[in-house]
Structure 1
């Protein structure tokens, strides 16, 4: 038998109030693309951090090429030939792309990274990055590509990818798959963590399923149906999203008129004459490849960035272009950013304290019990797995933190909700729950603007759709008028001139 490249035996890891891994196991062969599947909080990220030396297990053994190894840090793992792209980024925002790549490499390779070979590497993997751009000025999707570039630059023997395609376009995703298959053909191993069951069935040779911290199955995903995979992951069948009543769009709730915003420092694309009308009682989707102006649009709509003219943005007919986020919330607009830690939540604050970010206390008084009760209600109603309502935001998995953020904003009963990448890194069960919450909100008569790079998500929940490319926005069309193929062409700016 082939000696496993990486083997984890009986791994156990406890946190206060949480058993993250419970004698979990994983075996990855040379030249294999191996998926690790599980719902949010199942212990996938913790298991991978242990494999990479970022965490120490409380019990169990890590073996590399058949030999037991003790990994005191990621440096030890990298010295063996491992590379990892984390779901939550580990980048220096004040440094450039090239500098961040160099910092992730051994000294000899880091010197080489300063040479012109970095640009061809970016082109080879179709990562569409400017080596001289500062990471702090990049979108979430672009930052994920920097992490991927840094890992690939070290030429690893085993590459761990945690939700690598969450914010990649279809073309970029297929380019990544080609790269991963080439790595496997060269005898390298890939550990692929994803909630996208179709991707796992298309790409991976084997799949290890985790549930509640334990390994419950090892199987061939290509011979297993998506419903069966989902049931193994969740321990039950996945609830189907109910489409709700037919959308009955009402008055214009949020509008943008001829909005132009210059590209900020380090940005390549601003907004160019963007006009858009969102109506009450509908979900309007905005598709596009990351970095084409979606982040700027979200910032202007949420109030993070103000417009030059007050009437460039209107909420229920009222000019709000120069109002900040707090003033817009008072008028009924709430926003959920794509970046969870740092923008959506303060990492070291408890969930109860994070409730305050978008629901400040009336009269200026803080009532700790009320805050804790509010956070506990969100945790219960939206299926958030947390040690307690006071658990720090950083202690939650990405998907559970996303559930909390969605619940926090929906509890504010918005008349207009602007949300970016709501199911990025979220398991199939949680994604269905979030989609249902957005549909239910729409059915109350609220207006939802959904900015996403997930084509399946947009086609599943939206009533109307538009595409952003190069800072411009396409005509708006109904769901029935457009196909996934047409949207893909529009992402390259190839739309007609007829308005919907």
Structure 2
């Protein structure tokens, strides 16, 4: 802790928030001092995001007191929070896709600024913090990682005295994370208080001075993360020892996904063209694709899911069938299942119940009979997903928007797994997911692989890829590296390839 005055910057006393189906926060006490980086830890659904929204004025508590610099306050709106000096970077982005970066950021500024001046400030601040963004770029053309940069820069432009960060590094590169940490430490040294939510325990230990742990909406303890181990922090969060993934060696079977010389011009003026991509994924194996955000992952996933079909059918084969021109529904009939990186809006419709969200990709299942929806089957299926994947929610009628990010991710992944795929493609499977739920999702993918399913995982988490993958490749500037056995490469080698330093001369490694 760098600076501490005689009184806290923020103090919560007995904060309680109750929804019809869940107690989000119950008598929560929290103290944050000037210059302190304070972590809030807990499983998905533990009440962390609700508590942060209360501080930021998005949600009103049902009971309790909030003191700002030793004075009781009632924050009625985010605008009021910003005027007080509170800024927040949300886990789920609040950006308008049809507007530019500068236009989005201008909406969060309480003092109007000329567009040219704002663009210059965005460029300067983003470069200073190591999160470069083009102020004139349209948001819809940006990857998830790039959108995260916009959220962070938008908040930092207001020079907050308390900065709330909800999973800010979920889709940042390791280099960008280090640069962000430098920025946060500098802000703390200048007296800014930081509330930091992350499921990455190594981040918490490296960055934070203190931590408050929530479980089922209640505070279960406070600690100094630097004095804890990863395992002890996990036990405090989930109440038991951290589960470990079990992955046995097995021989892969037939080719389920074959990509042959796939070149695809992006429709996005700021996107990345795919160049001569070759890839095979066999039944009974997990192949991982690493890469820095914005290097063609979005375009590759669109090509594989059928959202952007190719000009030639034979560039993509699914279970031996030429599928390059097929749409997503036609590919699902071939056994392909897909989990996009954007949960809300693409993986699930926020305003629909979990049951109806199960139906979205299950229209060709037993939930639809003779063209009519069997609502009983819909409920049974959704309830089975909720139970099997331990989704914390208000039942199958709960809206997707009411779930925490991690619980919604468990539901989406579980939904696709329970449709019994032959080929499964998953993008960023554990983004923003707590450590226990992340292990559950990873083990579920391993079990799919053990059942003979071909699994392709696109992730920016190198640790995750080495944990669950049989083979790993890297995508950089729209090109795919050789595919190598995970046991025959290293994080350092993959990290080097992520910068684009590879050639196809290594292609003999591709089927190691």
**TM superposition shift of 1:179:** 0.6
1:465 equivalent among 466, 469, 472: 472
Q: Is this contact kept in 1: 2:336–2:421, CA < 8 A?
A: yes
CA RMSD of aligned residues (A): 1.2
* 1:236 aligned onto 2:240: yes
Where do residues 367-386 of structure 1 align in structure 2 (5 Å cutoff)?
367-386=374-393
| Corresponding residue SS for 1:116 | helix
| Corresponding residue SS for 1:264 | coil
1:116-162 per-residue CA deviation (whole Å, 9 max, x = no partner) reads 23212221122132211111121111111111110011111111110
Normalising to structure 1: TM-score of the pair? 0.98
Return the alpha-carbon distance in structure 2 between the equivalents of residues 485 and 124 of structure 1. 27
Return the alpha-carbon distance in structure 2 between the equivalents of residues 35 and 110 of structure 1. 36
| Corresponding residue SS for 2:51 | helix
Return the alpha-carbon distance in structure 2 between the equivalents of residues 314 and 354 of structure 1. 28
Corresponding residue for residue 226 of structure 1: 230
* 1:95 aligned onto 2:99: yes
Corresponding residue for residue 275 of structure 1: 278
Corresponding residue for residue 213 of structure 1: 217
Q: Is this contact kept in 2: 1:282–1:446, CA < 8 A?
A: yes
Q: Is this contact kept in 1: 2:40–2:214, CA < 8 A?
A: yes
Segments of 5+ residues of structure 1 without an aligned counterpart are: none
| Corresponding residue SS for 1:339 | coil
Normalising to structure 2: TM-score of the pair? 0.96
* 1:433 aligned onto 2:440: yes
Return the alpha-carbon distance in structure 2 between the equivalents of residues 311 and 55 of structure 1. 52
| Corresponding residue SS for 1:493 | coil
| Corresponding residue SS for 1:376 | helix
* 1:261 aligned onto 2:264: yes
* 1:353 aligned onto 2:356: yes
* 1:17 aligned onto 2:21: yes
Q: Is this contact kept in 2: 1:2–1:29, CA < 8 A?
A: no
Tell which deviates more after alignment, 363-372 or 344-353: 363-372
Q: Is this contact kept in 2: 1:13–1:19, CA < 8 A?
A: yes
* 1:178 aligned onto 2:187: no
Corresponding residue for residue 134 of structure 2: 130
- TM-aligned CA distance change 1:110 to 1:454, over 3 Å: farther
Where do residues 418-457 of structure 1 align in structure 2 (5 Å cutoff)?
418-457=425-464
Q: Is this contact kept in 2: 1:210–1:217, CA < 8 A?
A: yes
Return the alpha-carbon distance in structure 2 between the equivalents of residues 51 and 110 of structure 1. 30
Corresponding residue for residue 195 of structure 1: 199
Q: Is this contact kept in 2: 1:138–1:266, CA < 8 A?
A: no
Q: Is this contact kept in 2: 1:92–1:135, CA < 8 A?
A: yes
Q: Is this contact kept in 2: 1:284–1:463, CA < 8 A?
A: yes
2:318 equivalent among 308, 315, 319: 315
**TM superposition shift of 1:362:** 3.5
Corresponding residue for residue 168 of structure 1: 172
Corresponding residue for residue 156 of structure 1: 160
| Corresponding residue SS for 1:62 | strand
State how many pairs are aligned: 499
Return the alpha-carbon distance in structure 1 between the equivalents of residues 404 and 250 of structure 2. 33
- TM-aligned CA distance change 1:312 to 1:115, over 3 Å: closer
Return the alpha-carbon distance in structure 2 between the equivalents of residues 318 and 330 of structure 1. 11
1:62 equivalent among 61, 66, 82: 66
Q: Is this contact kept in 2: 1:350–1:390, CA < 8 A?
A: yes
1:498 equivalent among 500, 506, 510: 506
| Corresponding residue SS for 2:360 | coil
